Amino acid sequence: MLCLVSSEEERRVRANDREYNEKFQYASNCIMTSKYNIVTFLPVNLFEQFQEVANTYFLFLLILQLIPQISSLSWFTTIVPLALVLSITAVKDATDDYFRHKSDNQVNNRQSQVLIRGLLQNEKWMNVRVGDVTKLENNQFVSADLLLLSSSEPHGLCYIETAELDGETNMKVRQSVSVTSELGNQNNLASFDGEVVCEPPNNKLDRFCGTLYWRDKKYTLTNQNMLLRGCVLRNTEACYGLVIFAGPDTKLMQNSGRTKFKRTSIDRLMNTLVLWIFGFLVCMGVILAVGNAVWEREVGSLFQSYLPWDPPVDNFLFSAFLAFWSYVIILNTVVPISLYVSVEVIRLGHSYFINWDQEMFCSQCNTAAEARTTTLNEELGQVEYIFSDKTGTLTQNIMSFNKLDFTPFNPLADPDFCFYDDTLLESVKVGDAHAHTFFRLLSLCHTVMSEEKSEGELVYKAQSPDEGALVTAARNFGFVFRSRTPGTITTTEMGRPVTYTLLAILDFNNIRKRMSVIVRNPEGRIRLYCKGADTVLLERLHPCNQELMNVTSDHLNEYAADGLRTLVLAYRDLSEDEWEAWSESHRCAEKAASCREDRMAAAYEQIEQDMMLLGATAIEDKLQEGVPETIAVLSLANIKIWVLTGDKQETAVNIGYSCKMLTDDMTEVFIISGHTVQSVRQELGSVSLSDCQSVCLSVCLSVCLSVCLSFALVINGHSLAHALEADMETEFVSTACACKAVICCRVTPLQKAQVVDVIKKHKKVVTLAIGDGANDVSMIKSAHIGVGISGQEGIQAVLASDYSFSQFRFLQRLLLVHGRWSYLRMCRFLCYFFYKNFAFTMVHFWFGFFCGFSAQTVYDQYFITLYNIVYTSLPVLAMGIFDQDVPDQRSLEYPKLYEPGQLNLLFNKREFFICIAQGIYTSVVLFFVPCAVLSDATQSTGVPLADYQTFAVTTATALVIVVSVQIALDTGFWTVINHVCVWGSLGSFFSIMFALHSQTLFKIFPNQFHFVGSAQSTLLQPVVWLTIALATAICIVPVLAFRFLKVDLKPQLSDTVRYTQLVRQKKRKPVGRNGRLGARGGSRRSGYAFAHQEGFGELITSGKNMRLSTMALATFASRHSSSWIDTLRRKKPTHTHCHTPPSASGASSPARSCVSGSVAPLSNSSSVLGGSQDTPIEEVTAQHTQTVPTLSTQTPPAAEAAAPQGSAQAVSAGVLTSAAVRPHGGDSPGGWTITLGAVQVSCCYTCINNSTSKIMLIDTTFLLSNRKLCLVGRLGPLHPTAPAHPLSPWKPARLSETFRMNRGITCSLLSITCLHTHAGCVACFAGEILRHREQTVSSLRFPTEASIISQINPNHRQ
């Protein structure tokens, strides 16, 4: 019986038995992402295209036009554009699919070695079947999900790199089941007939459960035995695997998520609008049909002697019914068929510009940016959330040894190493003992394995890049780690080979945050070398190190401020007795049956004491070029960046700091690492409460007071799983969005996609995901826009992406330049397009009232056919492709220019209605002016001009001229091409019209070209030209006046920002430098942030990983062989448990210290003012009232004076708020900033008052960008002893008025609720914004306002 794959409940695979396996019809290893083949292309593609409502609609129209009673237009007026649209789309689809075929073929045709009938044969990937035994060689990609059977390495071990799957680049160990690992050679493997029964295909990367039945025995299989598709075999010569899942069933493919058809928000809006236009069209049709009914009854029936009704028509109602359909045909041009195709063409043009951009070309990897999807360009101008992978995206995944601290003559140096410090080199050369010990430590204390293929060609296999960097550094300073055995370490010290006896490895784990080795040197002295996080190591030093410790601490701070990962190195000399004693206790601990972990830890703890400080190292997790700058620019553009990484929390946080996502200015970095639903909920809740240990009046953190408080959120994968559950989703999103930076670590590929989805679901924003590995594929696919970083090893991400380039920093150009332009152009294009079609079509509507609603067109049918595709298409296309409002440099300099896109300001329903209104106005003018003039006019020869053909030609000419003038007004960037298109279109209109009205054509087809001579006769008349000129003037003058007024009185956002940014930028530069200095006093973040796995120490000492040939102590290995893997397994859960509260609190402690850091400037000011704890409340409130008029009257000097005072008081009251102001210059934004400061101060006051009062907060960014926000809130009781003190000088209404007067825009109100706090706590606001525009108010958008609220500058007060 066949069994359906979809209903697969368990999978049975028998090795080397294709016949048996074929019964189950498992998916083959062939991957198909393409949609069509040559035969199916035409029907399938047409079917898909006619699923588009618009296309079906036009087909329907075409059918209508074939009915003679209805047909008011010739069939070709519809079929020509429709055929054009369909064929252009088909060509594009075909090209896309061709490339998909190509990439599929490339993957499917990769070679792999498969055992077939006992022989190793080369097979293409697509021919690999489930149940096959395949051979893999070093550095090969795994072709399917394999069960590891045996490997060339001892004990069936093999190493893999899973970067494609989860982004982690450190090596992982896999081991085959012991019985199969003995199947050394091909013959044995060929006769292997074990049967695997396992779970059906799923997407869980870290889980596999199955059973191997072989020779009547059962063996349990786990993930530890699996090699997944997408991994790369490393440091293993060869291995054999049994294919369990193939092709689409592999975990990689299961994780890649569904391919979703991506549409831009403009697309969706366009579809809505098209539907509305349909509705409008039907309304028009109904109105005209009613008109027809009335007319036919009143007049038409009497007129029947001259024009009898058509035979099927027997009454006016039926006539009206036909008239309705006739008008639907005539008015169909309001839904412009060429719209879709023009949009596609424009997007294609933009995509080419992205491909062509030299500044997005990376010469190192020789890759240019590539727009792989051509349909999303304008959405690049609307991005609000960026989800970024870390490894390979933000970082280069290269660790470089950057700094070291303690106060080449080497043939083994690594040629790629570059670190130059001559004094250091000197001190090593002259034989400074301290320096030597330092490097000796680096060369000994690690778990790196070396491989020396030939003399001098050393390759280190480090399981974390950090360690590799350290050992390489030592190597380059002359302390070369050569090789190791389970009991020895051989190094070359300054050219002299030395072999140390390795006594013990005190392995790393997340709680210890350090590792040590105990070695005996050739002289017989025993020494413990330790390296680890400063937080843990500095406490374990010998007291005599105090002086050195201070110096080192300073240096550590410095390194930390630079975003480096630091380590502290120390050693301890052990006497023989001490060692003996300890090793005894260690052995006891090792053998202990219960609490082995704890006892081991205690043993380690015991020996790692009283150490001597050697120094510190700093390692740079090398960021890609320009990453911090890019992030800064993007966040200035109000784009939120979330980092989603599979890496450890420490690593992720570290990178967060080094790329300046996290800063020491941040009020608090929350770390969520709960394992249960309750703990996660609690932690999330604590974020909203933060330090205020009070009952919140209303928790709605959609708006947090990011103005003065900036939070960051770090969430672990296992907590994220809970947070993403349906009931906590909302809370998570609101919390996370209130934070300035969000870092999700240890997330699975699917979780990445879930995070993106949850944001998409809750916020109506455009999301962008950027990543480089296969683990990012699902995220890339589910985000609105997916960006792949190319040039790295894998191409999976690139293949799934919409855009690809090789450097993260190109993102800013992609978004701020290309995206912004695309959006701008698309919006301008759409506005104009709807305008021109309404202007064109509505003329028929007005004419209906004069022609008895008979569905007579105003224009010649050729004009109707060609208007959209010839006469007016090119100028608007040229504008849509080439237009620029500001040059690219400006967009990058002033990221705020990006905002209109996010707010969807340039094309929305309102803009659409304006365009429509303008179009209708134009149509009115275009109809009634010629109508009024011509109905009475004659030629100078006395021949009347009131004939239909003259009218048609006049109106058509006027229309073409008016829309050409309009496009000339809309075009902001006149290149040669624009000129050619505009003038060319006008020229083509006249030449085509003259050609169509020529006698040559008329003589051939008299019935088709009956307008013969109309163009000549009409356009020779001065009165016609006067009419056209008048119509043009009436159409254009109001538009011009409005545009001028808008630019003059209410400058566009881009203009304002351009101006204000210019002013601001001059002032911001010094602030930026201050920020850097400020970071110096920041927290230290070392935390031994290795991408490190514990257990390798044991692996080494057990000798398991050693080749038998190089193994010195075989017995040593056999003694431990059974235990280590088990230990490793047993340790696994604890390893993951390391993120539980103890470590979390440890990691969050630096963040706390940054709160105290921000206090410093405040206390400074309080000392200036002599503020004391005893300041009476009355005085405080008096000062407060003093600030009030300041706010309403906006007098900067008074506010300036008030603000510092206020803040001083705030401090004296113990309120931790960085409420202080840096007054801007004399310009009006500066005034507002001052107000802002004062308001914050007053917030703090009110916290102390047991009163309700109105508070407002004004964010400068909002003011400057014409979007205002103010907070009107009510503060809860705070200080039990404080008297009630109502303060309500600002009324919301008055406030709005003030805004209106000043900026011409009504302000928006935000009602806030203050979470009151006990003294010394931070006021926390929440609420909801009511905005004028129907924007989704996700969060406040003020990226750098923290800098505005910088420290008080005492000089300013004088």
Partner 1 sequence: ERFKAGKSGPSARRPDNSAFKQQRLPAWSPMLTANTVLPFFYFMALSCMLLGVWLLLTVQSTQELKLDYTKAGSCDECFEIHNSASCRLFQGDVFFYYGLQNFHQNLRRYMDSRDDGQMVGRTTNLKNPSTYCEPFIKDQKGLPIAPCGAVANSVFNDSFTLSYHGGSSGPAVPVPLLRQGITWYTDKNIKYRNPKDGNMTLAQVFQGTAQPRYWQKPAYELDPRDPANNGFINDDLIVWMREAAFPNFKKLYGVLYRAKKPFIKGLPAGNYSVDVSYNFPVQHFRGRKQVVLTTVTWFGGQNHFLPIAYLITSCLTLLVAVVLTVAWCKFGKNGRNMEE
Which two structure tokens, joined as six digits, stand for 307? 């024009």
* Site mask for partner 1 (CB under 8 A), range 807-826, x = bound: --------------x-----
Classify residue 585 as exposed, middle or buried by CB count within 10 Å of its CB (0-12, 13-18, 19+): middle
Closer to partner 1 by CB, 240 or 821: give it.
821
Q: Which of 78, 326, 557, 1086 binds partner 1 (CB under 8 A)?
A: 326
Closer to partner 1 by CB, 169 or 1032: give it.
1032
Which range of residues in 22-30, 350-358, 670-678, 718-726 is near partner 1 by CB under 8 A?
350-358
Residues 909-938, interacting with partner 1 (CB under 8 A): 929, 931-938
Residues 471-510, interacting with partner 1 (CB under 8 A): none
Which range of residues in 7-15, 603-611, 950-958, 1149-1157 is near partner 1 by CB under 8 A?
950-958
Q: Which of 358, 454, 594, 1115 binds partner 1 (CB under 8 A)?
A: 358
Residues 650-679, interacting with partner 1 (CB under 8 A): none
Which two structure tokens, joined as six digits, stand for 1117? 């290995």
> Contact, 126 vs 111, CB < 8 A?
no
Starting at the edge strand found earlier in the chain, the sheet holding 232-234 runs 171-175, 157-161, 232-234
Kindly tell me the sign of the dihedral angle through the C-alpha atoms of 1211, 1213, 1216, 1221. negative
Q: What residue ranges in 556-627 does DSSP mark as E strands?
A: 565-574, 612-623
Kindly tell me the sign of the dihedral angle through the C-alpha atoms of 1271, 1273, 1279, 1281. positive
Closer to partner 1 by CB, 6 or 1000: give it.
1000
Annotated binding site: 389-391, 467, 508, 531, 565, 645-647, 746, 752, 772, 775-776
Distance CA 328, CA 981 (A): 31
CA dihedral in degrees (446, 451, 457, 463; nearest 10)? Answer: -50
**Cβ contacts of 1061 within 8 Å, gap of 6 or more:** 893, 894, 896
Residues 993-1012, interacting with partner 1 (CB under 8 A): 999, 1002-1003, 1006-1007, 1010, 1012
Q: To the nearest whole angstrom, how small is the minimum distance from the Cβ of residue 691 to partner 1? A: 43
Kindly tell me the sign of the dihedral angle through the C-alpha atoms of 25, 26, 29, 34. positive
Q: Which of 593, 1049, 1108, 1301 binds partner 1 (CB under 8 A)?
A: 1049
Q: Which of 5, 59, 977, 1155 binds partner 1 (CB under 8 A)?
A: 977
DSSP state of 938: B
Closer to partner 1 by CB, 76 or 973: give it.
973
Distance CA 1323, CA 852 (A): 72
Asked whether position 357 contacts partner 1 by CB under 8 A, the answer is: yes
Which range of residues in 334-342, 354-362, 627-635, 724-732 is near partner 1 by CB under 8 A?
354-362
Strand partners, 493: 479, 496
> Contact, 639 vs 741, CB < 8 A?
no
Q: To the nearest whole angstrom, how small is the minimum distance from the Cβ of residue 340 to partner 1? A: 25
> Contact, 646 vs 747, CB < 8 A?
yes
Classify residue 757 as exposed, middle or buried by CB count within 10 Å of its CB (0-12, 13-18, 19+): middle
Q: Which of 223, 483, 1056, 1136 binds partner 1 (CB under 8 A)?
A: 1056
**Cβ contacts of 693 within 8 Å, gap of 6 or more:** 1317, 1318, 1321
Q: Give the count of beta carbons closer than 10 Å to the beta carbon of residue 988.
A: 16
Classify 1153 in phi/psi space as left (phi over 0), alpha (psi -120 to 50) or beta.
Answer: alpha
DSSP state of 1254: -
Asked whether position 378 contacts partner 1 by CB under 8 A, the answer is: no
Residues 1015-1034, interacting with partner 1 (CB under 8 A): 1016-1017, 1021-1023, 1026-1027, 1030, 1033-1034
3 state SS for 980-1005: HHHHHHHHHHHHHHHHHCCHHHHHHC
Which range of residues in 347-355, 390-398, 1086-1094, 1311-1319 is near partner 1 by CB under 8 A?
347-355
Classify residue 1091 as exposed, middle or buried by CB count within 10 Å of its CB (0-12, 13-18, 19+): buried
Size of the site for partner 1 (CB under 8 A): 98
Closer to partner 1 by CB, 224 or 998: give it.
998
Of 1154, 1352, 1259, 395, which is closest to residue 711 (Cα–Cα)? 1154
Asked whether position 554 contacts partner 1 by CB under 8 A, the answer is: no
Annotated binding site for ATP: 389-391, 467, 508, 531, 565, 645-647, 746, 752, 775-776
Asked whether position 945 contacts partner 1 by CB under 8 A, the answer is: yes
Asked whether position 1041 contacts partner 1 by CB under 8 A, the answer is: yes
Asked whether position 1167 contacts partner 1 by CB under 8 A, the answer is: no
Closer to partner 1 by CB, 79 or 946: give it.
946
Q: Which of 43, 279, 495, 1038 binds partner 1 (CB under 8 A)?
A: 1038
Catalytic residue flag (residue 389): yes
Of 32, 45, 57, which is closest to residue 91 (Cα–Cα)? 45
CA dihedral in degrees (382, 387, 391, 394; nearest 10)? Answer: 40
* Site mask for partner 1 (CB under 8 A), range 719-758, x = bound: ----------------------------------------
Q: To the nearest whole angstrom, how small is the minimum distance from the Cβ of residue 1010 to partner 1? A: 5
Closer to partner 1 by CB, 855 or 869: give it.
855
Residues 607-626, interacting with partner 1 (CB under 8 A): none
> Contact, 773 vs 683, CB < 8 A?
no
Which range of residues in 250-258, 385-393, 581-589, 942-950 is near partner 1 by CB under 8 A?
942-950
Closer to partner 1 by CB, 1033 or 1155: give it.
1033
Q: To the nearest whole angstrom, how small is the minimum distance from the Cβ of residue 222 to partner 1? A: 45
Asked whether position 1067 contacts partner 1 by CB under 8 A, the answer is: no
CA dihedral in degrees (773, 775, 780, 781; nearest 10)? Answer: 130
3 state SS for 639-668: CEEEEECCCCHHHHHHHHHHCCCCCCCCCE
Inter-CA distances, 883 with 357, 821, 1233, Å: 16, 8, 35
Catalytic member of 389, 466, 507, 1259: 389
Q: Cα(first)–Cα(last) distance of the chain, in Å?
A: 92
Closer to partner 1 by CB, 45 or 954: give it.
954
Classify residue 847 as exposed, middle or buried by CB count within 10 Å of its CB (0-12, 13-18, 19+): buried
Q: Which of 268, 1043, 1119, 1356 binds partner 1 (CB under 8 A)?
A: 1043
Distance CA 327, CA 140 (A): 66
Q: Which of 409, 983, 994, 1044 binds partner 1 (CB under 8 A)?
A: 1044
Q: To the nearest whole angstrom, how small is the minimum distance from the Cβ of residue 929 to partner 1? A: 7
Asked whether position 1330 contacts partner 1 by CB under 8 A, the answer is: no
Annotated binding site for Mg(2+): 389, 391, 772, 776
Residues 834-893, interacting with partner 1 (CB under 8 A): 850-852, 854-857, 882, 884, 888
* Site mask for partner 1 (CB under 8 A), range 37-76, x = bound: -----------------------------------x----
Closer to partner 1 by CB, 944 or 1197: give it.
944
Of 454, 543, 382, 694, which is closest to residue 1320 (Cα–Cα)? 694
Asked whether position 308 contacts partner 1 by CB under 8 A, the answer is: yes
Q: Which of 975, 1192, 1195, 1296 binds partner 1 (CB under 8 A)?
A: 975
Q: Which of 55, 557, 949, 1166 binds partner 1 (CB under 8 A)?
A: 949
Q: Count Cα neighbours of 1338 within 13 Å in the Cβ-side half-sphere.
A: 22
Closer to partner 1 by CB, 1033 or 1071: give it.
1033
Closer to partner 1 by CB, 200 or 944: give it.
944
Please give the positions annotated as active site.
Answer: 389
